[in-house]
Amino acid sequence: MNRKVFLRNASAIAAACAVMPAWGKELISAKKSFFEISLAQWSLHKKLFAKEIDNLDFPAITKKEFGISVVEYVNVFFKDKAENTQYLNELLKRCKDNGVKNHLIMCDGEGDLGNTDANARIKAVENHYKWVNAAKYLGCATIRVNAAGRGTATEVSDAAAEGLARLGAYAAKEKINVIVENHGGYSSDGSWLSGVMKKVNKSNVGTLPDFGNFCIRRDGNTCAEEYDRYKGTKELMPFAKGVSAKSYNFDDKGNCVETDYEKMLKIVKEAGFNGYVGIEYEGSALSESEGILKTKALLERIQKAI
């Protein structure tokens, strides 16, 4: 391109920008956020267990009440429906009708993937196959599992790595990710769980850092030993395929009391993460709906700031 043509084109672009509507200029100048907001179904677990709402209601509630278009299921709320195509088709219809995307299924109660007994571990791995298949059917990208087990830290680490590798190999055939949450015990030790990920070394096996689940040992209802949540999140982020924004209580400025969200989300951003940050409200001072909306507002505020 010669200088004359370049100047003519530049002038045309400048003229177009001059008459462009304000909203158009905002779209061009707006920076793209490094994360999108999803809703973890556990945020509504009280209403679900009380039968006030049903799993099939979740997509519509997520979109209509909270203005969120991506959902994360918990398998306990449709535990016997993983292989029921009629039910899954109805769930897909509800999603389509409400413009909602299925992202992941959180899987509990299917056995310990870090069980040091080989036969029990293999059984646990195989128990998760149906959830891999259900995730594929629903258009999810991921299932969340637990790396639990009994034994020494090294014994459970080796067992969990083997179990996750086995499940990961099955899930890879369906192009589904398998991710582990810091969910108590050894898994809430960021160094331990990141070490397991290094042993597994599979592209579709990763982590789901949860801002609030860093209690390694409990004494009744009290956490007797807690891992540093910021250090732990930083250690898990290199393997993260999702993030769980846990919240309980809020101050009068709308900030989460337990976690510095700005500090945490900067850690997430600096890790190069681009994906979904799922709201998981577990507080009791507010209703579930109020807690979800407070968490969403906090995420959106920090999303714009950083």
pLDDT given at position 153: 97
Q: Could you tell me if residue 47 is inside a domain? A: yes
When divided into structural domains, the chain yields a total of 1
**pLDDT digits 0-9 by tens, 81-120:** 999 999 999 999 999 999 999 999 999 999 999 999 999 9
CATH of residue 97's domain is: 3.20.20.150
**pLDDT digits 0-9 by tens, 207-257:** 999 999 999 998 988 999 999 999 999 999 999 999 999 999 999 999 999
pLDDT given at position 32: 76
Half-sphere exposure of 167 (CA within 13 A, CB side): 38
The stretch 258-280 carries a mean pLDDT of 98
Expressed as residue numbers, the domain containing 270 is 37-305
Q: Could you tell me if residue 30 is inside a domain? A: no
Q: Is the pLDDT of residue 7 over 60?
A: no
Q: Is the pLDDT of residue 3 over 50?
A: no
Q: Is the pLDDT of residue 29 over 50?
A: no
The stretch 38-56 carries a mean pLDDT of 98
Residues 6+ apart with CB under 8 A from 147: 113, 114, 156, 160, 163, 164, 180, 186, 187, 193, 196
Q: Could you tell me if residue 26 is inside a domain? A: no
User: Where would I find the H helices in the chain?
Assistant: 3-19, 22-29, 45-49, 58-66, 85-98, 118-127, 129-138, 153-173, 190-200, 229-236, 261-270, 288-305
pLDDT given at position 221: 86
Q: Could you tell me if residue 222 is inside a domain? A: yes
